[in-house]
Amino acid sequence: MDDCALSFWIYTGVMSVFVGSTLKKFLTSHVSSMPSLVAWLGATLLVERLCTLCMPAVLALAVLCAICWLYSSWDGPPYTLPVEEKAVFITGCDTGFGHATAKQLDAMGFEVFATVLDLEGEGAKQLRGTCSQRLTLLQVDITQTQQVQQALLCTKAKLGMKGLWALVNNAGVCVNFGDAELSLMSNYRGCMEVNFFGTLSVTKTFLPLLRQSKGRIITISSPSGEQPFPCLASYGASKAALNLLINTLRHELEPWGVKVSTILPSAFKTGQSSNTEYWEKQHQLLLQSLSPGLLEEYGEEYVLETKELFQNYAQAANEDLSPVVKTIVEALLSPRPRVRYYAGPGVGLLYFIHSYLPLTLSDRFLQRLFLKKKVIPRALRKENGLGLLNHSSNNNNNNNNNTPQRE
């Protein structure tokens, strides 16, 4: 075998392993956005250029990329399940994703059971005024077992023999901003209590109905549960625990015919995220709770900048919740719902970078995307002989999209 033929087969083998493994991971992750596809092609071509150029292999690679494009873009026939006789239970419908989804599903003809924290609140009043008689409002704090059980009894009484088609776990809370060391223990416990234990309680309570109907569970999670977003330790940890729970349920419920999906949205303006008084209250509470020593080492200006950054992110977040609502509808009516859905602009690219680029580059991208901090802790400034950096003029340049959510 001459040197040219040997080089060709070595090149073909290396490229087959690289492209095959990358393609498998890419397709199973359901990343279908154009930026992600372009990034994948760019990475493949970069490796290709490092190998020996050979025209037949280049043509074969082009064909493979074309097949990948067509396959990843094809979602199968445009067939959806009928809406008739389908009932859906949704948590956290006072505002945000739950509120918008309850309205949309009711308009489509679903029988909707929507939980709210306050039956006399503005969100509940809007649902009463805009939705049909099919929608049932239930006052439920998902951290209160008795209220969850009462919601189950009310749902079963109204459904009769019809059965519950789906549970949409939407209720969640994010009350934290700041470094993990500065975050209050009450924030960690609060996020876990709602996002993990509350969702677990609702899911366990309604599982018998879902197993009986061979229905489905749809859970709104967050990329911060899988990637280390700075200053979101308490929220991210609770979502990480939730993700593992849902994935475990997916395996365990497969023999029962229950489909389990997770939706990972990008940044949207929901709940208290645009409330200036809310951010100021959280900031003052944090300052009052920190020990004098810890506050001295970090500095009030460091904490203030973090608050301002989060507030800017919230103001810049997307107000159009339709990408998430459409994704929930797809997961409800698709004959073969996906395990994971990415909802909203940029989140597919975020996951691609996290999955395929070196960790150092992925971490740097995440930090620059989410937190462009200019102020360093006071103790480090003294140690390095640095003066206080002017951060107020830089905060206006932050175009970050991630924002804490109150679903």
In whole angstroms, give the CA distance from residue 185 to residue 314. Answer: 23
Q: Which DSSP category does 137 fall into?
A: E
Q: How many CB atoms lie within 10 A of CB 157?
A: 8
Q: Given the residues 79, 188, 235, 342, select the one marked as catalytic.
A: 235
* 3-class secondary structure, 264: strand
List, in order, residues 6 or more apart from 190 with CB less than 8 Å away. Answer: 173, 175, 234
List, in order, residues 6 or more apart from 88 with CB less than 8 Å away. Answer: 105, 110, 111, 112, 113, 164, 165, 166, 167, 168, 332
Phi-psi region of 299 (alpha: psi -120 to 50; beta: other; left: phi over 0): left
Concatenated DSSP letters of 291-350: -HHHHHHH-HHHHHHHHHHHHHHHHHSB---HHHHHHHHHHHH-SS--SEEEESTTHHHH
In whole angstroms, give the CA distance from residue 376 to residue 387. Answer: 10
Concatenated DSSP letters of 220-247: E--GGGTS--TT-HHHHHHHHHHHHHHH
User: Are 83 and 333 within 8 A, CB to CB?
Assistant: yes
Q: How many CB atoms lie within 10 A of CB 102?
A: 30
In the block, residue with structure tokens 């719902």: 337
> Tokens at residue 194, please?
């709602």
Q: Is 235 a catalytic residue?
A: yes
User: Are 92 and 50 within 8 A, CB to CB?
Assistant: no
* 3-class secondary structure, 192: helix
Amino acid at 227: Q
Q: Identify the H or E element spanning 216.
A: strand 216-220
**Catalytic annotation, residues:** 235
